[in-house]
Amino acid sequence: MGGSSPLEGIRVLTLAGNVPGPVAAARLHRLGATVTKVEPPTGDPLAPISLAWYRALTHGQEILRLDLKDPARRERLHPLLEASDLLLTATRPAALERLGLGWEQVHARYPRLCQVAITGYPPPHENRAGHDLTYQAAAGMVAPPGLPRTLLADMASGEQAVSAALALLLARERGQGSGYTQLAMTEATDAFAAPLRYGLTAPGGLLGGGLPGYGMYPTRQGWIAVAILEIHFREALERELGVNSASREALERAFLARTAAEWEAWADARDLPIAAVRDPAAQ
């Protein structure tokens, strides 16, 4: 952001644990917002399974432990709500209502407060249980028996929650009053799965193996990712490799001559989009 803080002076109160809420809160904090995170007495479920990531996502935030199921302790939440511009939740709406934290309840008491509520499914199924794997499976983003290499549904929902928050805050500043957005993780996942749904990245699609210039190739040691899409890249690759046509067979033979690291350096020197495939565990 070049040192700018567009959300300076904005206060965010988040009750959202696990991944989508913390991802959104971390982005809002990086944009300049002051973030207070309320966790249950046992803490955020993310912390015991990935402490380093939890710490990265909550860096610079105030962390409070409150048992919101206890009415007396829940009263400590109200001054925080009064002072906040945005409430971020990732709890099923029925549970929030039982706590007196449903949108209508909150809005009646804090009319300036905006809210982004992350749910698994859209109405009328917003109280249905789910997690990243089930959302990705429903969107066709997994190939059994393998598991996804990233939490796409969680990350997509976190990013869309930021967009929703910014839209609500902007509308309020323009005099349209505070508002509420319910963001379903299944819908966020479907949006990020559009390239697959439209066939672009489906098996055999142009970016799913249909183009020889866009794919993975073994080398003398390791693999490389080749993303030669534009004509000028293809012509340059053919010229530099000394092949008449960048067919899959020609590229397979050519790329066995060097290691993945060598091909990456070779491509960088020639401004070609080729990268060595790295092991995320080694980074």
| 154 given a catalytic annotation | yes
Strands 62-65 and 214-218: unpaired
Residue 240 has pLDDT above 60, yes or no: yes
Architecture of the domain whose range is 11-196: 3-Layer(aba) Sandwich (3.40)
131-173 residue pLDDT tens: 999 999 999 999 999 999 999 999 999 999 999 999 999 999 9
Distance CA 152, CA 57 (A): 16
pTM over 0.75: yes
185-228 residue pLDDT tens: 999 999 999 999 999 999 999 999 999 999 999 999 999 999 99
pLDDT score, position 203:
93
42-93 residue pLDDT tens: 999 999 999 999 999 999 999 999 999 999 999 999 999 999 999 999 999 9
Catalytic residue among 85, 132, 154, 190: 154
Identify which of 5, 4, 2, 24 has the alpha carbon closest to the alpha carbon of residue 13. 24
Residues of the chain with CATH 3.40.50.10540: 11-196
Enter the tokens of residue 121. Answer: 């499914």
Residue 4 has pLDDT above 90, yes or no: no
pLDDT score, position 181:
97
Residues of the chain with CATH 3.30.1540.10: 206-282
Name the phi and psi angles at 193, rounded to 5. Answer: -90, 5
Provide the mean pLDDT of the chain: 95
pLDDT score, position 279:
86
Residue 3 has pLDDT above 90, yes or no: no
pLDDT score, position 280:
79
The CATH number of 206-282, from 3.60.110.10, 3.30.1540.10, 3.40.720.10, 3.30.70.141, is 3.30.1540.10
